[in-house]
Amino acid sequence: MNDFDFFVGTWDVANRYLTKRLAGGDDWEEFPGRSVAQSFFGGAGSFDEIEFPTKGRRGASFRLYDPATELWSIYWASSLTGHLDPPVVGRFVDGVGEFQGDDVWEGQPVRMRFIWSRITPTSARWEQAFSPSSAGEPEWETNWYMDFTRVA
């Protein structure tokens, strides 16, 4: 249940964001962020707030661990929308966390996936992908990377 303990602290974040999603585009925007994370419930909960200073907005992630299923639920909120997005659910296996859920992007139902990887004491990577597929094997388009570097 302490899978997100690595994330406690302050991080500089290099963001790489696909400007048009599910449109076959390859136009990426890069911008900085600063994230501050903490845990609660003895490691069964995790919260972080990220500021995107060049964008004039913030986001927050809220994570809860269910000991009965051994799964994490991750919720995202943005200062742009003011609401909590539907959760992605999953777990860590061999140091990589994969979490999936259903959402809507620009009126279109999508399957969403978060992956946490490259975790070290001073760095980590998060990525987000969408798939428009509602049946069969998802066809993932990664649309956002965050590379985290711990602030000393």
- Annotate the chain with three-state secondary structure: CCCCHHHCEEEEEEEEEECCCCCCCCCEEEEEEEEEEEEEHHHCEEEEEEEECCCCEEEEEEEEEECCCCEEEEEEEECCCCCECCCEEEEEECCEEEEEEEEEECCEEEEEEEEEECCCCCEEEEEEEEECCCCCCCCCEEEEEEEEEECC
Give the pLDDT confidence score for residue 23 in this predicted structure: 87
Give the pLDDT confidence score for residue 107 in this predicted structure: 86
Give the pLDDT confidence score for residue 49 in this predicted structure: 98
Q: How would you label 65-75 residue by residue, b for 16+ Cβ within 10 Å and e otherwise?
A: beeeeeebbbb
Please report the domains of the chain, with CATH numbers, ordered by start residue.
5-150 (2.40.128.20)
What tens digit of pLDDT does each residue of 30-72 get? 999 999 999 999 999 999 999 999 999 999 999 999 999 999 9
Give the pLDDT confidence score for residue 137 in this predicted structure: 78
> pTM of the predicted model, to two decimals?
0.93
User: What are the tokens at 37?
Assistant: 């994370």
Q: What is the mean pLDDT of each run of 10 residues along the chain (152 residues)?
A: 95 97 92 98 96 96 97 96 93 97 90 97 97 78 97 94
